[in-house]
Structure 1
Amino acid sequence: MIGHVDLRAHPTPYMVHRCLLGMGVHREWRRSGIGQRLLDVAIEWAKADQQLEWIDLQIVDCNV
């Protein structure tokens, strides 16, 4: 696997219009456009969901 992206329902019930985005790209594939493509597909998927209005990026500060 060279990368992944996931969109998860927001854990707070009153924020059903939002989702959490997490993603990662294998170190050897970074700066190759894979991350941008994963992000583009995730955004298109989210746009197709009539309930979603907002994507929150979830990051881990030790994973840079």
Structure 2
Amino acid sequence: MPGKRFLVRLLLLIALLSLPFLFSPAPARAVATSLFISEYIEGSSNNKAIEIYNGTGTAVDL
């Protein structure tokens, strides 16, 4: 059957064309190299605070 043969070839072509998308490498991510002040809070009087984020993955002596 010519129709069946065409369908098989079409499915094979689609499978071959989709292979690069299935095995593509993961996107690169930025690596933090320093501390980051992620939040600043200011309240009344002397109520102030900062939140420091350590994205380096290593211990940091403050």
Q: Same fold (TM over 0.5)?
A: no
By percentage of residues, which structure has more strand? Answer: 1
Return the structure number with greater relative CO, CA threshold 8 A, min gap 6.
1
Q: Please identify the structure whose Cα radius of gyration is greater.
A: 2
TM-score (norm 2): 0.30
Query: Structure 1 length as normaliser, TM-score?
Result: 0.29
